[in-house]
Amino acid sequence: MRAEPSDLIKEAKQRFTRCDEAESRQRASIALAKAFRAGDQWPDEIKIQRQGGASIPGQAAQPQRPCLTIDRLSQPVRQISNQIKTANFAIDVLPNGSGADTETAEIFKGIIRRVQNLARADSPIEWAADQAIEGGIGWFRIRSDYVHESANGVPLDALADQELRLERILNNLSVYCDPSAVKPTKSDARFMFVTEWLTKDEFERRFGEKPTATLDEFVSLGDTDQKWMEENRVRIAEYWRVLDETSYLVKAADGMLSVQTKKPGKDDGALVREIRRPVVKCSIINALEELQAFDWPGLRIPLVPILGEELNVDGQAILRGIISEGMDAQRMVNYMYSAAIETVALAPKAPLIVADGQLDQYKAIWQNANRFNYAYLPYKPIALGGTPIPPPQRDNTEPAIQAMVAMLMKSEEAIKATTGIWEESLGHTKQEKSGRAIQALQGQSELGSSNYPDNVRRALIYAGEILVDVLPKITRKGQILTILGVDDQPEQIMVGQPFAAQPGQSPQPVNVDPELLKQQKGIAKFYDLGAGKYAVTVDVGKSHTTKREEGAQALGDLIGHIPPELAAPMVPEYIEQLSFPGAHKIAEAVRRALPPHLRGPEEGEEPIPAKAQQEMAQMQQALQQLQQVAQEQQRALDADSIKTQGNIKIKEIQEAGEQQRTQWQLALEAQKEDVKLQVERLKLDVEMRKLEVELEIEMAKLGSAQSLARGELEQQALHEHNAMQLATEERQSAEAQATLDREHEAAQAEASRQQQPEAGA
C-alpha cells in the first residue's frame, strides 16, 4: 500500500507548482535557445518538408531541398563568454565597523581568493555566465565540505573542519526559484528547488534502501531525463526554504533591555523591537518522504544566479540572452544561404515547358532528363485548333543571383545588429580604417555587451557576502587555514587563537591575551573572523600573471632608455619578473655582481659608509672615462669598416624602399577594386529600391481599382435592395386592398341576406 506524502512533501509540491506555472514561458525560451545554439535552427515543419517529407497534412511530399545551418550566433556568444573568462573578478573585503579591522579583511580576501582558485577546474562562474549569455540565466552554488577525507594522520578535532567551495550547476533549468523574488540576486527568495536524477545504485549508496518513489510531479520543460534510464533512475530534489526565528527586544520597568523568545505580556515590560532572524533549511526529498535534512549556517540560500538581459513586461520579468535576440536574424541567414545554394544548384537544370498530352507514355524518360544523358527524347506531337504545338522547351530564365547575394549581405548585417558584435571585435578589419578607428569600434562592441560582465560582478558580490557570512560559522577556534596572497602564493594562518609562525612552518598557538596584541604589535598574530562587519565589492581587472608580464615588458623598455647607472639596479628585478625556470637564481647572481653602491646592503650586512661610497663612485667614474677613451680609439680604427657598412646599408634601404613602393601600388589597386565593388553594390541597392517603388505604385493602383469596384457593387446592391423593398410594399398594399374588398363584399352580402326576409314579410 502506497504511503501518504508528509506535510513537508505536500508543501513542496504546492510550491513547485507555483514555480512551474510562473517560469513556464521563461523555461520554454531558455530551452529553445539551448537547442538553437546546439544547431537545431530550423522549424520542424520546414525541416521535414525540405528533407522530402510532407509537413502539411493532405499535401504530397516534396523533393529534397538544401537545409543549411550557417551558425553565426555561436561566435558572438563565445566572444562575450571568453571576455568574462579572461577577466579577473577579484572579490575584495573591506572593514565596515563594529570592531572590523583591515588585517582581518585581508584574511577574508585570502580565504576567498583560495576558494576562487580551487574552483578554476570546474569554472562554475564562467559556466553560469555562459548560460546567462546563451538563454538569460545561469546558476552556481556555494557548498561546504570537509577538509580531510580520511582520518589518517589528522587530529581528531580537525576531522570536523569544513571549507567552502564554489560548484557549477550543470543544467540551469534544474533550479526552480520562488516566483515572489524580485531582486536580481534572488536574495529575497523564500524557497528554491534543485532537482537531480540518480541511478538506483547511487540512490541506495547515499540514502540506503529507502522507498525509491521518484518525483514525477517535479518535472518541467528543460528538466527531463533520457528515456533509456526510466527503469533505473530515481528523481530527488533539494528543497531549500527560509524560516524566521522571532525574538523580542524588551525594556523592563527599570530601563534594562533584554532579548526574549516569547512575546512580552502587559506586565513583562515594553516591547521595543521584534527581531526576525532568517534560518535556512534544506531537505532532500522524494515523492513520499524527507530523505535527508540539514541547516545551512548562512542567512541566505546558497544558490547564486547570473542574469543575462532582464526586462519587465506587464509586471512579468523576462530574461534573455544573445541567442534569443538573434534567432530571427540567424534563420534569415540559414534561409538565404539555402535558397542561394538551391538556386545555383538548379540553374543548369532548368524546368521544361510541356503542353498537355505531349509526353503521355514518355513521362518516365522526361522526368530523368536532368539526370541522364539520353541520345534522344521522344514526345507526341499535338496541335491546338489546327496549329502544331512546338516540342517541349526549357525555361532558361536567369535566376536573380545578384539579388540573393545582396540579401545574404543584409542577413549577415542583421546578425551583427542584433548581437552588437561587429567585424572589428571578431578580428575582421578593413585596410581603409585606422588603428584608432578599429579600437573605437571594438570598444563600442564591448560597451554594447558590458551588461553581461557587470551581471557577473553583481553575482560575485552576492556570493562574497554569503562567504563572509558563513566562514566564521564553520571555522573553529585554533583552525589552520590556507590563504592566497595577491601573487597566488599560499600562506597558513590560525583563526580564533593568537599564534606565531616561522617561515616554512605551520602556525603554533601562543598563550597571549588578544587584548594585549591590540596594544603591542609584533608579539603574535590574532584573527577573529566573527568580530565586526565587513562589506564586499568586486574589482574587475587583469590577472596577476598578466600584470607581471606587462610589468616585465614595461621595465624592459624602460631599462633601454635610462642611464646605465640607473638601469643596473633594475636588471635583477626585471629578470625576476620573467617566468622561465631559474630566473630567481640568475637575478640573485646579477645582483651580487653589481657594485656595492648599486646593489645596496644584503640582509644582515652592514651598510657601506658614505665616504667609502664616494670613493667607489669616483673610481667607477674614472673607469668609465678610461672605457670612453678606448671606445674612441676603437671607433677611429673601424672608420673605414663603418663607411663600407654604411654604403651597404644605404643600398639595402633603397631596395627596401622599392619593395615598399611596390606594396603601396598593390594596396592602391586593391582599394580601387573595393571602391568599384562598393559602387556596384550601391547600384544594386538603387535598382532594388526602384523595384520596391514600382511594386508600391502597382499595389496602390490595384487598391484603387478594388475600391472603385467595391463602390459600384455596393451601389448596385443598394438599387436592388430599394427595388425589392418597393415591390414588397406594393405587394403588401395590394393584399391590404384585396382584404378590404373581400370584407366590403362580405358586408354587402350580409346586408342583402338580412333584407330578403323583410321583403317576404
Q: What is the pLDDT of residue 403?
A: 79
Please name which of 8, 87, 71, 112 lies closest in space to residue 468, comparing C-alpha atoms: 112
Identify the DSSP state of 525.
B
Identify the DSSP state of 311.
E
Q: What is the pLDDT of residue 673?
A: 77
**Residue that is written with C-alpha cell 630566473 in the block:** 583
**C-alpha gyration radius of the chain:** 44
List the beta strands (DSSP E) in 470-515. Answer: 479-484, 490-495, 499-500, 508-509
Taking residues 163-167, what's their average pLDDT? 95
Rounded distance, CA 659 to CA 656, Å?
5
**Cα dihedral angle (472, 477, 481, 484), rounded to 10 degrees?**
50
Tell me which H or E stretch contains 45.
helix 44-50
For residue 40, give Cα distances in angstroms to 75, 329, 338, 414, 610. 16, 15, 15, 20, 79
Please state whether 538 falls in left (phi above 0), alpha (psi between -120 and 50) or beta: beta
SS (H, E, C) 166-186: EEECCCHHHEEECCCCCCCCC
The residues with which 306 forms a beta bridge, in sequence order, are 138
Q: With beta carbons less than 8 A apart as the criterion, state whether 146 and 160 touch.
A: yes
Q: What is the pLDDT of residue 459?
A: 95
Rounded distance, CA 89 to CA 126, Å?
11
Q: Kindly state the cell numbers that stand for 656.
A: 627596401
Rounded distance, CA 469 to CA 532, Å?
11
pLDDT of 250 above 50: yes
SS (H, E, C) 561-599: CCCHHHHCCHHHHHHHHCCCCCHHHHHHHHHHHCCHHHH
Q: What is the pLDDT of residue 603?
A: 46
Cβ neighbors of 457 (< 8 A, separation 6 or more) are 89, 538, 540
Mean pLDDT of the residues in the chain: 80
Taking residues 283-305, what's their average pLDDT? 92
Rounded distance, CA 257 to CA 496, Å?
29
One-letter amino acid identity for 158? A
In terms of DSSP bridges, do strands 508-509 and 162-168 run parallel, antiparallel, or are they unpaired?
Answer: unpaired
SS (H, E, C) 673-735: HHHHHHHHHHHHHHHHHHHHHHHHHHHHHHHHHHHHHHHHHHHHHHHHHHHHHHHHHHHHHHH
Q: What is the pLDDT of residue 418?
A: 81
Q: With beta carbons less than 8 A apart as the criterion, state whether 411 and 329 touch.
A: yes
Q: Taking each helix axis from N to C terminus, what angle separates 544-559 and 570-577, rounded to the nearest 10 degrees?
A: 150
Rounded distance, CA 144 to CA 164, Å?
4
Q: What is the pLDDT of residue 761?
A: 42
Q: With beta carbons less than 8 A apart as the criterion, state whether 76 and 367 touch.
A: no
pLDDT of 669 above 60: yes
The answer to which of 170-184, 339-353, 360-374 has the lowest mean pLDDT is: 339-353
pLDDT band at 620 (very low <50, low <70, confident <90, very high): low
Rounded distance, CA 132 to CA 173, Å?
12
Please name which of 174, 172, 179, 220 lies closest in space to residue 198, comparing C-alpha atoms: 174
Q: What is the pLDDT of residue 471?
A: 95
The answer to which of 6-15, 346-355, 594-603, 741-750 has the lowest mean pLDDT is: 594-603
**Residue that is written with C-alpha cell 570546474 in the block:** 122
pLDDT tens, residue by residue, 198-246: 888 888 888 887 655 555 666 666 666 443 345 678 889 999 999 999 9
**Residue that is written with C-alpha cell 523555461 in the block:** 27
pLDDT of 384 above 80: no
**Residue that is written with C-alpha cell 597566488 in the block:** 488
Q: With beta carbons less than 8 A apart as the criterion, state whether 165 and 212 touch.
A: no
pLDDT of 705 above 90: no
pLDDT band at 643 (very low <50, low <70, confident <90, very high): low
Rounded distance, CA 755 to CA 747, Å?
12
pTM score, whole prediction? 0.67
pLDDT band at 58 (very low <50, low <70, confident <90, very high): low
Q: What angle do CA 416, 421, 422 make, to 5 degrees?
A: 70
pLDDT tens, residue by residue, 76-132: 898 889 889 888 888 999 999 888 999 999 999 999 999 999 998 889 999 999 999
CA 213 to chain centre: 36
Q: Positive or negative, the Cα torsion across 384, 386, 391, 396?
A: negative
Rounded distance, CA 82 to CA 426, Å?
12
**Residue that is written with C-alpha cell 674612441 in the block:** 632
Number of helices (H), then strands (E), belonging to the chain: the values are: 19, 21
Q: Kindly state the cell numbers that stand for 23.
A: 517560469
Rounded distance, CA 642 to CA 635, Å?
9
pLDDT of 408 above 50: yes
Q: Taking each helix axis from N to C terminus, what angle separates 639-760 and 401-419, rounded to the nearest 10 degrees?
A: 100
In terms of Cβ atoms closer than 10 Å to its own Cβ (0-12, 13-18, 19+), residue 47 is middle
Cβ neighbors of 354 (< 8 A, separation 6 or more) are 366, 379, 392
Identify the DSSP state of 579.
-
pLDDT of 197 above 70: yes
**Residue that is written with C-alpha cell 578580428 in the block:** 427
Q: What is the pLDDT of residue 228?
A: 33
Please state whether 427 falls in left (phi above 0), alpha (psi between -120 and 50) or beta: left
Q: With beta carbons less than 8 A apart as the criterion, state whether 107 and 467 touch.
A: no
For residue 615, give Cα distances in angstroms to 5, 611, 621. 94, 6, 10
pLDDT of 475 above 80: yes
Rounded distance, CA 354 to CA 394, Å?
9
Q: Kindly state the cell numbers that stand for 116.
A: 576562487
pLDDT band at 637 (very low <50, low <70, confident <90, very high): low
Which of 328 and 690 is assigned the larger pLDDT?
328
As a whole-number percent, the residues of the chain with pLDDT over 70 amount to 79
Determine the length of the chain.
Answer: 761
Q: Kindly state the cell numbers that stand for 25.
A: 514561458
The answer to which of 95-104, 306-315, 683-692 has the lowest mean pLDDT is: 683-692
List the beta strands (DSSP E) in 658-723. Answer: none
List the beta strands (DSSP E) in 41-135. Answer: 88-95
Tell me which H or E stretch contains 537.
strand 534-541
In terms of Cβ atoms closer than 10 Å to its own Cβ (0-12, 13-18, 19+), residue 204 is middle
Taking residues 592-605, what's their average pLDDT? 60
The answer to which of 155-159, 456-460, 603-607, 608-612 has the lowest mean pLDDT is: 603-607
The answer to which of 63-77, 216-230, 332-346, 608-622 has the lowest mean pLDDT is: 216-230
Q: With beta carbons less than 8 A apart as the criterion, state whether 302 and 141 touch.
A: yes
**Residue that is written with C-alpha cell 527599570 in the block:** 254
pLDDT of 326 above 60: yes
Rounded distance, CA 428 to CA 438, Å?
10
